[in-house]
Structure 1
């Protein structure tokens, strides 16, 4: 039995997407109409996230060489949101979208090679954005440096005040 070239290409494309992605959120989109899916795709695209309907069998083949197993989540219609930069972005958009569209069901999440269930995706969505985390990290690194600079400036400042007082005394 010959394998169709389209299927081989689809498997290679999926393998590439899973290998490059920082996060992949698996969803069941049953019950969503075309307008809803288009709206979700638009919101995801704004965050740099790709939303793709996948065939479960081809997905199983595509990820068989990876260190994780998604077999239990590859049942029924499946669409995957792939994020290649920010692992939090797809979770935020999908969890927010699922609040108003109960038909969208979160199956699982894959972040940096670790598989998690719906609860993990929801907790990931509550994390602050990447920029905010980086700002907090930089702030916590800067704080001790400002303290050191302040401590080092203290004696210098006192010397300047002392010299100024001596100058004022001599002038009067």
Structure 2
């Protein structure tokens, strides 16, 4: 939200600046609350994957399938907050509260992606990078290749070259 003022934001939705400040002390507080709500939704989604797929390893695989799909790529507004908030959080110069909320959400996601033998953070970083690149190149062959090759890399059995 760096680059947009509270006044411009409120004007665009037909509300007053005073109404904003009755709800939030700052734009950063709004961003932090939005990030917290979005990561709460992600927690619910991850729990539903566990419930729907029986065991955590199967749930993790199903999430990778969904995350690296054209469906997820083409719906950024309802997609993962890890990807959705990354750019705005990185650009916000005074995003202390936002960054803390965002970092906690990323850590929780990485913990969910972890296995007994691997840290989930590299998987999350790979998936988020892939979905951002796939969205930025949507409509090209490269976008599909990014999704497919990343999926293969993350789901190949250990010791097997994902390109074989």
TM-score, L = length of structure 2: 0.27
Higher relative contact order, structure no. (Cα contacts within 8 Å, ≥ 6 residues apart): 1
User: More helix per residue: 1 or 2?
Assistant: 2
- Could you say which structure has the larger radius of gyration? 1
